[in-house]
Amino acid sequence: MPEDRLSVLLESVTPRTVRFFGAALDGVALHADDREWTYGTGAALTGSAQDLLLVAYGRRLPPGRLRGAPCERFALN
């Protein structure tokens, strides 16, 4: 994803957008490992900004894409 588009989308992650997409991020803090970006509070979930954006918009990812205690919660089964 082009960096300029990714930046715009990351800036748009708010409690309202998270609720709209049905993402269950209660008690989870998203931490990008490839740029200065975080969202939320709680147990750290780390990954690329692009992968965390997908999580913030209610998507699940293949196992191994995310790290941290809550990673299983956001992995495809």
Cα(18)–Cα(52) distance, integer angstroms? 12
Note the pLDDT of residue 8: 95
Note the pLDDT of residue 77: 82
pLDDT per residue as tens digits for the range 31-57: 999 999 999 999 999 999 999 999 999
Give me 11's structure tokens.
């800036």
Note the pLDDT of residue 45: 98
CB 4 within 8 A of CB 20: no
pLDDT per residue as tens digits for the range 13-23: 999 999 999 99
pLDDT band at 1, cuts 50/70/90?
Answer: confident
Average pLDDT over residues 5-29: 95
Assign residue 11 a region (left: φ > 0; alpha: ψ between -120 and 50; beta: otherwise).
Answer: alpha
What pTM value is reported for the model?
A: 0.93
- All structural domains of the chain with their residue ranges: 3-74
User: Could you tell me which CATH number the domain at 3-74 has?
Assistant: 3.30.1050
